[in-house]
Amino acid sequence: MSEGMRRAQVLLPFPGEGLFDYWVPEAVVPGQIVRVPFGRGAKLGIVWSLKADPSVPDERIKPVEAIWEGLPPLPEADRELLEFTARYYLAPLGEVVAAMLPPALRRRKREPRSKGRGEEGGTVPAGPLPELTEGQRAALEAVPRDGFSATLLHGITGSGKTEVYLRLVAECLAQGRQALLLVPEIALTPQLTERVHARFPSARIVCLHSEAPAGERSAAFVAAMRGEIDVVLGTRLAVFAPFVRLGLVVVDEEHDPSYKQFEGVPYSARDLAVWRARRWNVPIVLGSATPSLESWASCEAGRYRRVALSARASGQPLPTIELIDTAQTPAEEGVSAPLAQAIEATLARGEQALVFLNRRGYAPVVRCGHCGWVSRCPNCSVNLVFHRDDGRMHCHHCGYRETPPRSCPECGALDLQPVGRGTQRLEERLQALFPQARIARIDRDAVRTLAQWETLLEEVRAGRYDLLVGTQMMAKGHDFPSLTLVGVIGADAGLYAAEVRATERMFQQLIQVAGRAGRAGAPGRVLVQTEFPQHPLFRELAAHDYAAFAARTLAERRALRLPPFAFQALLRADDEALEPALAFLEAARTTGREIAGREGWPVKVFDPVPMRLVRLARRERAQLLVEGGRRPALHAFLERWVEALRGLPHPRSLRWRLEVDPLET
């Protein structure tokens, strides 16, 4: 090859390991962004190492096409983040880097120009600072600032956790460093972005999430790499934003399952955020009114420190939570008399009420009153949900839609009825009860885009609605000052579910939705309709006693050796029929048991089973659980096992993937 060139490995976003050799100029260093010829086109990649693969002869190697010299190399800490992610989640490096490099950037032929904002941003804090509450002051004092530490900020709903984050960000910016703020949902980004902007008007802030325009995401990535950004705020994908002077990481609503990525590499952004903070040797604050039991247990084990904020910033008490026993006081078309009275009184005072029902659509199923036939999705093992807006039945899993038949397809009877209740039907019922009320329904059918959501948030705040009907979209993180009453309907679903985390999710959701009530001027009230008022979960809920819930549930998990007292991985396989999926998993089980037995690794390899939702989008799905009491042994096992799995024969139509720390088993 020509003078002044050497071979290097370049990491490309590629469904596989993604490491390929190219000729690069001698001066190139690891971390530099390059464009390389690949197949008939070109790809954007990262110079990974100056070592070369000796098995590939020189003459087969091509030179890189361009080096994006205006971009500093990706820092070693961030390259290690990619390596760690690949290792921990047993994913090929090429797939992990695909999660980092924004698609629009990868398509660019030429290097994006600098906007010439290279100097560090001044942080003259603007806007009047609210006087900190005593609790906030104490919390701020308790968060260590030097070096790595993980702090769980357990602050009750409305305690002003955001203000604590903002003060920490202020210090971080004052030192000329960068802050990373994660929120679980796109819907939560406008509120936080607005507050960060208002507090730090001269700071350079970017907001990263999957709905951000592609060009914006790619520009933000470049600016962050150049160190031209002070605050990166965003959803889980922002955990891969590049940094040059990271000084602080904040994960808000840290318990939220949305931090888990399901497509592609199944990573937990919360867990990666902790890793990142440790690698950069900076503090991380995990905030929540309802911490995950994982984080709670980490506090008990001394890995995280726990800091409590136990009063609301407004000085208001937490809302009272009352249970309505629907066995005693039946709910008429979903709404019991005490709830209806409470709504009426709230509306009469000119305050807002929210009725929470975590099920969208009109009715969860259409049923024949004569023979019992129910509407099923032809592609998935679920019922079709009737929607009133288009008069059709929808599959909430694969998107299939169908007009309901006039007569029963089984027996021909003209007796088809929508059964059960979703938000659309509840809205109808509430409108009938309160004809004067201005009702807004807030669910994924009514609010589809971020822009719609922002408009709606403004309208709710401005008092354009009296009564809100909403799913979990409404439950988290929002601050509606005039909302004083929350009614909860259909809350029992999670109570006796088989899922390990079902009651944890349910409790978190109830505390969160209850926490929307009475945040500002007037005290709040929460009414929960349930058939099981004696269940300990409801007693803990009524007492706002998260610690009691956590202690009881963790004791159960410890006794049953469930997470966080055991570590899990799930191997899933799907195919056009169930048999090949099960057969693949059976072979995987045999191999797995052999490996564990041979090495003496204390790892339990369970039998394959069909998944609860066995058929999804015309694919039949099965899974196999692997469990270990210690992470290192489990990981040693998984590494060896994955190697073996890659060699297992299977039909071409079969797909499999491994998920580490699955949330749902």
In the list Zn ion, ligand ATP, none, the entry touching 380 (Cβ below 5 to 8 angstroms by class) is Zn ion
Residue at shortest CB range from ligand ATP:
160
In the list ligand ATP, Zn ion, none, the entry touching 662 (Cβ below 5 to 8 angstroms by class) is none
Binding window for ligand ATP (CB under 6 A); candidates: 23-31, 60-68, 130-138, 266-274: 130-138
Nearest to 68 by CA among 103, 97, 43: 43
Question: How many residues sit close enough to ligand ATP to count as binding (CB under 6 A)?
Answer: 20
Query: Is 299 annotated in some ligand binding site?
Result: no
Nearer residue to ligand ATP within complex by CB, 308 or 497: 308
Among 101, 173, 233, 395, binds Zn ion (CB under 5 A): 395
Which residues, in sequence order, are CB contacts of 67 under 8 Å at separation 6+? 24, 25, 28, 32, 33, 34
DSSP state of 252: E
Two tokens, residue 239: 């955990």
Tell me how far, at minimum, the Cβ of 476 lies from ligand ATP, in Å.
7
Which residues, in sequence order, are CB contacts of 307 under 8 Å at separation 6+? 138, 139, 142, 143, 151, 152, 153, 154
Query: Is 368 annotated in some ligand binding site?
Result: yes
Nearer residue to ligand ATP within complex by CB, 3 or 131: 131
Distance CA 282, CA 269 (A): 17
Contact at 8 Å (CB) between 588 and 596? no
Total Cβ atoms within 10 A of residue 337:
12
Residues numbered 282-321 forming contacts with ligand ATP, rule: CB under 6 A: 289, 313-314
Question: How many residues sit close enough to Zn ion to count as binding (CB under 5 A)?
Answer: 7
Nearer residue to ligand ATP within complex by CB, 71 or 139: 139
In the list ligand ATP, Zn ion, none, the entry touching 485 (Cβ below 5 to 8 angstroms by class) is none
DSSP letters along 592-650, please?
HHHHHHHHT--EEEPPPEEEEEEEETTEEEEEEEEEESSHHHHHHHHHHHHHHHHT---
Binding window for ligand ATP (CB under 6 A); candidates: 78-86, 132-140, 434-442, 535-543: 132-140
In the list ligand ATP, Zn ion, none, the entry touching 159 (Cβ below 5 to 8 angstroms by class) is ligand ATP
Nearest to 660 by CA among 86, 83, 89, 85: 89
Residues numbered 162-201 forming contacts with ligand ATP, rule: CB under 6 A: 162-163
Q: Tell me the helices (H) and strands (E) count for the chain, helix number first.
A: 17, 31
In the list ligand ATP, Zn ion, none, the entry touching 398 (Cβ below 5 to 8 angstroms by class) is Zn ion
Contact at 8 Å (CB) between 387 and 418? no
Binding window for Zn ion (CB under 5 A); candidates: 108-116, 393-401, 438-446, 624-632: 393-401
Nearer residue to ligand ATP within complex by CB, 173 or 289: 289
Two tokens, residue 477: 């993180």
Q: Which amino acid is at 375?
A: S
Among 9, 123, 151, 159, binds ligand ATP (CB under 6 A): 159
Among 154, 161, 167, 525, binds ligand ATP (CB under 6 A): 161
Tell me how far, at minimum, the Cβ of 512 lies from ligand ATP, in Å.
7
Query: Is 207 annotated in some ligand binding site?
Result: no
Distance CA 457, CA 140 (A): 30
- For 134, the 3-state DSSP assignment is helix
Contact at 8 Å (CB) between 515 and 289? yes
Residues numbered 368-387 forming contacts with Zn ion, rule: CB under 5 A: 377, 379-380
User: Could you say whether residue 592 binds ligand ATP (CB under 6 A)?
Assistant: no
Tell me how far, at minimum, the Cβ of 160 lies from ligand ATP, in Å.
3
Rg (CA), the chain: 27
Nearest to 226 by CA among 17, 23, 420, 74: 74
Tell me how far, at minimum, the Cβ of 503 lies from ligand ATP, in Å.
20
Distance CA 347, CA 33 (A): 59
Side-chain half-sphere CA neighbours of 260 within 13 A: 13
Nearer residue to ligand ATP within complex by CB, 515 or 518: 515
Nearest to 512 by CA among 641, 358, 327, 334: 358
Tell me how far, at minimum, the Cβ of 380 lies from Zn ion, in Å.
3
In the list ligand ATP, Zn ion, none, the entry touching 377 (Cβ below 5 to 8 angstroms by class) is Zn ion
Binding window for ligand ATP (CB under 6 A); candidates: 131-139, 384-392, 403-411, 561-569: 131-139
Tell me how far, at minimum, the Cβ of 235 lies from ligand ATP, in Å.
16
Distance CA 124, CA 186 (A): 28
Residues numbered 501-530 forming contacts with ligand ATP, rule: CB under 6 A: 515, 519
Tell me how far, at minimum, the Cβ of 509 lies from ligand ATP, in Å.
13
Q: Are strands 619-628 and 609-616 parallel, antiparallel or unpaired?
A: antiparallel
Total Cβ atoms within 10 A of residue 415:
14
Interface residues with Zn ion (CB under 5 A) are 377, 379-380, 395, 397-398, 400
Binding site residues, as ranges?
368, 371, 377, 380, 395, 398, 408, 411
Contact footprint for ligand ATP (CB under 6 A): 130-133, 136, 155, 157-163, 289, 313-314, 477, 479, 515, 519
Binding-site annotation, residues for Zn(2+) = 368, 371, 377, 380, 395, 398, 408, 411
